Structure 1
Amino acid sequence: MLRPEQMSRVSVTGSKRVIDDVIDAAYDHNSLHVSDYGNEYEGFTPGSSLEGAEEVNEKLVTVRSLESILDVEDADAGPRGVLEDEELEAELEDVRTRVNELDDRRNEIDDEIRELDEEIDRLSPFADLGIDLDLLRDYDTLEVVVGQADPDAVEAQLADAGGIDAFDVFAGDDAVAAFAKPADVADPGVLQDALVGVDITFLSVPEGEGSPESYLAELETEKAKLEEELEAVDQELEAAKTEAAGFLLRAEEQLTIEAQKKEAPLSFATTENAFVAEGWIPTDSYDGFAATVKEAVGDHAEIEEIERAEFTPDGDHHSESVGEAATDGGHEQPTEEPPVVQDNPKIATPFETLVQAVSRPKYTEFDPTLLVFLTFPAMFGFMIGDIGYGVGYLAIGYYFYSKFDTPGLKNVGAIGMWAGAFTVLFGIMFGFDVFGYHSYSLLGFEHWDASKGVSPAETSWAQAWLVITVLFGVLHLNVGYVLSFISNLKHHSFLETMYESGSWLLLINGLWAWVFSAHLYEAKPDLLFEAFNTALGISFTGLPETVGFLGLAAVVAGIVLLAIGEPAELPEVLSPLVNTISYTRITAVLLAKAGMAIAVNLLAFGAYMDHGHFKFIFTAENLAHAQEAGYEVVFAGMTTQGPVGIAAGLVVALIGHIVVLALGITAAGIQGVRLEYVEFFNKFYEGGGRRYVPFGYDRQYTAEE
């Protein structure tokens, strides 16, 4: 569970006569992670694709292009079935011809419509003017300018312009036409020059004669016909999609499988007559893999387990040799980091997504997935601690889990459901909190001891949670340091392990043993000891002074070991203290979210103080009762102000709690993930493992027989 599956490096050696059969057998078993050949063996060269690979890849490109044109999705798949090569060849050509012709016609119509749109856009301002096109050009004694501008500004500018004997301006909603008779001494273009100071966009007059409105109507009619034709083509393409989608998905899958098989020898070592394929396989799968290949080719291929990788740290795996490869005449085998198959209980596998967000674990290190499963939902639930919000997170998680097929999103949904379940659990512990309201009284309980510590009378609980989260941090970090110790001990001597990991264990445990000891009791904050009485009902005055002295001795020993073995890490000597105190952010989020929920309820429903406790008002009758009893009313609340106030208060409550729900995801989620990644993982985890990609394919659309 804390380690990935054990992997074995295997070698398959055989005659090229049976290479196709070996590839088929290995592919069907779907367990061998093939290693690329890197010219390690004398006399061997990298292999080449099998005959027909280029043709298969061309067909695969065609299929994917047709899927893109038709916008084929997984949901369009029909029933699974066998697809014979002859059927694939014939139907693919028919579909390709039909779809490409329709797609070409669609592109042609799109181009024609685009050109018409440009012409319509260019003609629209002239139709707005309502002046025939031939009247806007080709004058001997007049100059004409058409543009988009403020007509008053144009008139004012022309009135003050020199070189113009007379002018007239015609304006529509979106265009202006100016006609001018230049003076005899004026240069050509005097009208346009006169308008330089005006904010105007000049328009060129289109070719043609007569009414621009009629011309524009013709263009619109032509465009409408093209759009009808385009719609008909789209309908034909949709019909083609309905008929061909299932075939295309089956064809893509079958061709993908064929292409992978035909390109497999590119990773092999080959001679003229023989081949060697090497790769990694889960050790438990080796016997089944060997039996499958033997059944396919008999004695024409030799399968060997070259090495069995053990789990050791520091990036190098120590491999136990279990066989002698027949590839190199005794040459040393190349070393390669095994791929990683995370081996976690099914209940914890969704949390692999959180771990892989940092990086996939190396084969040589502990996989923290199970530990994240045991701690992250609990931290999240504690930080929110509310039945109402917990049900919301459960619902959101279930939506993601049930509605999405993507493994990552399904895992996010499962994580959300676990977080929601723990939120409900802690909501019960905190007095059956439902959206910030203690509902235990509705269940027949007269009082409830545990609380979040937000009310003035409950501050001792807030202090207790600070201490409890510190103790949780000590435990959590100890697990990380212990895992580091175990890993290092397997690779180094005991003394070296004490330098690298034991020093930190001594530092963190010695430090906190002293903190919680009776040594210098008077100088330490009272909350360190009173928290045990508040939360656990235990009268605690500190660990014996002897334990405190031993703790100080352990701290000194840890510093000495660090100075001797890892002097570069001495500046980090206080990190056990800093990292542990960082866990108090759990309590900080708890108090912040509880305070936000109370604030929402306070605005919506009002509250008064009863011996330091918030009691929500809800109704005008309750408000009157509180005032008569002499309670301190903190805020009267919106729902006590008549029907309109009730409606407004319910809206405020709904929106406010939705905001708190959303902020809970970001605050509790981010802080929980931060504690896992930064404080915990850094003690023993590096990541950077290789993904296990077995040679094979999980069929979705086709059947083998």
Structure 2
Amino acid sequence: MFRPQVMSKVELVVPEHDVVPVTQVLAASGVFQPTPSVHLGSGRLSRSAEDWRRRATTFADLERRILAVMEALEVDEGPPPAEPPQLIEPETAQMDIDRLEWEAGAPVRELEEGRRKLAQLQRYLSQLEPIADLEVDLDTLRNLRYTFVLPGTMPAANLERLQTSLELIPSVLVTLRREDHLATVVLFGAQRDADILNRAARSAYLNPLELPEEYRGTPAEAIAALESDIKRARQYVAECQTTVDYLHEVRVHSLRHLLWRVRASRTLAETIARYGRLRYTYLVAGWVPTSRVNMLRREVKRISDDVLIEVDTPARQEDGHVPVALENPPIVRAFQSLVTNYGHPRYGELDPTPMMALTFPLIFGIMFGDVGHGLLLALLGLLLVSRKVRALRGLSGLGAVVIACGVTAMIFGFLYGSAFGSEEILEPLWIRPLQDVMDILLAAVGIGVGLLNLGMICNLVNAVLTRRWGYLLFDHNGLAGMIFYWSLLGLVAGAFVEGLPIGPIPLAALAAVSGLAVTFSEVLEHLVEGRRPLVEGGLGSYLVQTPIELFEVVISFLSNTLSYVRMGAFAVAHGALSMVVFIVAEIISPAHGVGYWIVVVLGNLFVIGFEGMIVSIQTLRLEYYEFFSKFFSGGGMRYRPLTLVSRGGE
């Protein structure tokens, strides 16, 4: 649980005639991650790598065409099939897609054309409705020779400005209708002044109305004809939609089935194209969890006894290229996504997921301690895990995280004596953050010191696992760094507390010795590990950099430690914000009537949503920037086993 799965490097020599079934078995096993193999020869093949690449390109084009038909018929991809789909030849898929495109093409085009026609008619109607009361033939307005006419809509506030700007130009501005902030107007003038009148209208944000050429008579008569045409257009669109819906129902399963077959065939072709080549065989290389190697060997041998399989353990210098397969129990696995958002551990290092599962709810609970609020969060987590609400199914993976945070918030709620923001219901088992501010802040710093040391211990374990003995002894997050950090803590504590078991002189000596070790850690690490040169980049620049780096280490220790003060600060803020809710409720309804309880309920929901989000962000920040920085840098390669039914975006 605390380390990624042990991986084995598997190499297979596959006869040419077995390459397809063997690849299908590797994909169906769900444990084989292929790696590009070296080009081993130039022998002639019945299907060379170029042939497989061409097949993959053909399948990709066919997949694009299937998705276009599915989009037109409003068919989604659906879930991946439970069993690997059968492969398909490009020619067969081509014929199936041609038939589907022919079936769907005409109805979809007719539906789109009908919708465009309906939208155009509705646009015409919206243009004519503002001038429905105008008793003038539309042809007359279109064909005036000497008179300029511009019907349109404009902001009512600009009417006076437009009239003022046209005082010196012979014109008339008639307001037909005025609703709210919009006015329907007609601007009359002489054709010789058309340019001036158009500029003035644009400056006043007058929106011209387009008069459709297809309709005659007065605006009211044209509107009546338009409404009749719109009714017929809607009926036509409904008939076309019925045809498309029928095609959707009868072709949904065949489209999905064909999509997954083509997608599986494309993935297989792309995979085989990356295999190495001998004259009559393929060389297949990849990574498999060691615990699953025997199972994979049996499955491959069941397909062909002619396949040669060689299994090897990765060399230490290969660790950066070995994929990382994390293996955690379900209750811990929920926190895995929070870790992988930061990065994947390197092969052979500690998996930080168990530490995240321990520390994340702890930090969240300290900052969000409230029995009632924690209970609601836990219930929300149970709802997410149940997947009963369709809109929340995408968050189901975080359900266990929310439950854990809710439970720790309840525990600290009992410790703080807080329930739904009220401190009058429960007696605190420990302290009240609002009344004991310094105590909660000092406790937060103490917990932060413990978490930082846990991070340093994890760093020591990583150094042992990777056999970096110099790094283990002298790095600023190694043994020397821990001694330096504790010495500084002891000196600071001695300035405020009397009677420490270790006096200031031994602490100062420890700080000096460990500080020197951290200062010259690069030289000492290279010396212990036998690496040369001892100093990279020149002795002069190294001597200039080392004091600066030591100062940076001290500042880092200080900032990392003080960052955990925010845990206590947010515990105080949580109590203060909850108190404000009750103060506002008391102001609204001193008699504790309905208004009082409405404010209390809404206020508590606001605190849970708003502060819960902020506390979650701050918890992630402490994990990523303070805790993880002590031992975890990411940079590992994600384990992606081969599958033929991955979604298009994967």
Q: Normalization by structure 2: what TM-score?
A: 0.82
How far did 1:362 drift? 2.2
How far did 1:674 drift? 1.4
Distance in 1, Cα, partners of 2:442 & 2:196: 83
How far did 1:647 drift? 2.1
Alpha-carbon distance change, 543 to 411 in structure 1, aligned in 2, over 3 angstroms:
farther
Hey, what does 1:558 align to over in structure 2? 514
Per-residue CA deviations over 1:328-367 (Å, capped at 9, x if unaligned) read xxxxxxxx70111112222100101111121222224322
Alpha-carbon distance change, 217 to 3 in structure 1, aligned in 2, over 3 angstroms:
same
Hey, what does 2:535 align to over in structure 1? none
How far did 1:258 drift? 2.4
Q: Secondary structure at the match of 1:665?
A: helix
The answer to whether the Cα contact below 8 Å between 1:638 and 1:646 also exists between their aligned partners in 2 is no
Alpha-carbon distance change, 276 to 504 in structure 1, aligned in 2, over 3 angstroms:
same
In angstroms, what is the RMSD of aligned CA positions?
A: 3.6
Distance in 1, Cα, partners of 2:468 & 2:163: 96
Q: Which amino acid aligns with 2:298?
A: A
How far did 1:126 drift? 5.3
Q: Select the residue among 207, 216, 224 that pairs with 1:217.
A: 224
The answer to whether the Cα contact below 8 Å between 2:88 and 2:265 also exists between their aligned partners in 1 is no
* Greater RCO (Cα-Cα under 8 Å, separation 6 or more): 2
Q: Select the residue among 59, 67, 83 that pairs with 1:64.
A: 67
Distance in 1, Cα, partners of 2:247 & 2:620: 48
Hey, what does 2:611 align to over in structure 1? 664
Hey, what does 1:99 align to over in structure 2? 104
Hey, what does 1:577 align to over in structure 2? 558
Q: Select the residue among 128, 149, 153 that pairs with 1:145.
A: 149
Q: Secondary structure at the match of 1:276?
A: strand
The answer to whether the Cα contact below 8 Å between 1:470 and 1:580 also exists between their aligned partners in 2 is yes
Q: Which amino acid aligns with 1:367?
A: D
The answer to which of 98-107 and 248-257 deviates more is 248-257
Distance in 1, Cα, partners of 2:445 & 2:160: 77
Hey, what does 1:454 align to over in structure 2? 434
How far did 1:31 drift? 1.4
Hey, what does 1:327 align to over in structure 2? none
Q: Select the residue among 479, 490, 502 that pairs with 2:454.
A: 479
* Structure 2 residue ranges without an equivalent (≥5): 178-183, 523-545
Q: Secondary structure at the match of 1:13?
A: strand
Alpha-carbon distance change, 264 to 76 in structure 1, aligned in 2, over 3 angstroms:
closer
Aligned pairs (5 A) from 1:519-558: 519=494, 523-524=495-496, 542-546=499-503, 548-558=504-514
How far did 1:597 drift? 1.3
Hey, what does 1:372 align to over in structure 2? 356
Q: Secondary structure at the match of 2:593?
A: helix
Hey, what does 1:253 align to over in structure 2? 260
Per-residue CA deviations over 1:581-603 (Å, capped at 9, x if unaligned) read 22121111111101211222233
Alpha-carbon distance change, 360 to 152 in structure 1, aligned in 2, over 3 angstroms:
closer
Distance in 2, Cα, partners of 1:85 & 1:270: 24
The answer to whether the Cα contact below 8 Å between 1:49 and 1:264 also exists between their aligned partners in 2 is no
Distance in 1, Cα, partners of 2:432 & 2:339: 30
The answer to which of 26-35 and 645-654 deviates more is 645-654
Aligned pairs (5 A) from 1:594-605: 594-605=575-586
Q: Which amino acid aligns with 1:573?
A: V
The answer to whether the Cα contact below 8 Å between 2:93 and 2:262 also exists between their aligned partners in 1 is no
The answer to which of 24-33 and 46-55 deviates more is 46-55
Q: Select the residue among 284, 307, 312 that pairs with 2:313.
A: 307
Distance in 2, Cα, partners of 1:569 & 1:413: 42
Q: Which amino acid aligns with 1:146?
A: L
Hey, what does 2:33 align to over in structure 1? 33
Alpha-carbon distance change, 189 to 476 in structure 1, aligned in 2, over 3 angstroms:
same
Hey, what does 2:188 align to over in structure 1? 178
The answer to whether the Cα contact below 8 Å between 2:365 and 2:406 also exists between their aligned partners in 1 is yes
Hey, what does 2:417 align to over in structure 1? 431
Q: Normalization by structure 1: what TM-score?
A: 0.76
The answer to whether the Cα contact below 8 Å between 1:145 and 1:177 also exists between their aligned partners in 2 is yes
How far did 1:466 drift? 2.6
Alpha-carbon distance change, 17 to 83 in structure 1, aligned in 2, over 3 angstroms:
closer
Which of the pair has more CA radius of gyration? 1
Alpha-carbon distance change, 696 to 552 in structure 1, aligned in 2, over 3 angstroms:
same
How far did 1:415 drift? 0.7
Hey, what does 2:445 align to over in structure 1? 470
Q: Secondary structure at the match of 1:437?
A: coil
Hey, what does 1:509 align to over in structure 2? 486
How far did 1:392 drift? 1.5
Per-residue CA deviations over 1:661-702 (Å, capped at 9, x if unaligned) read 1233123212221111111111111112222111124699xx
How far did 1:175 drift? 3.3
How far did 1:448 drift? 4.9
Alpha-carbon distance change, 493 to 95 in structure 1, aligned in 2, over 3 angstroms:
closer
Alpha-carbon distance change, 197 to 573 in structure 1, aligned in 2, over 3 angstroms:
closer
Q: Secondary structure at the match of 1:10?
A: strand
How far did 1:297 drift? 0.9
The answer to whether the Cα contact below 8 Å between 2:374 and 2:408 also exists between their aligned partners in 1 is yes
How far did 1:653 drift? 1.1
Q: Secondary structure at the match of 1:468?
A: helix
Q: Secondary structure at the match of 1:353?
A: helix
Alpha-carbon distance change, 697 to 552 in structure 1, aligned in 2, over 3 angstroms:
farther
Equivalences, count:
598
Alpha-carbon distance change, 161 to 584 in structure 1, aligned in 2, over 3 angstroms:
closer
Alpha-carbon distance change, 408 to 571 in structure 1, aligned in 2, over 3 angstroms:
farther
* Structure 1 residue ranges without an equivalent (≥5): 181-187, 311-315, 319-335, 441-446, 526-540, 606-636, 701-705
The answer to which of 404-413 and 429-438 deviates more is 404-413
Distance in 2, Cα, partners of 1:255 & 1:478: 53
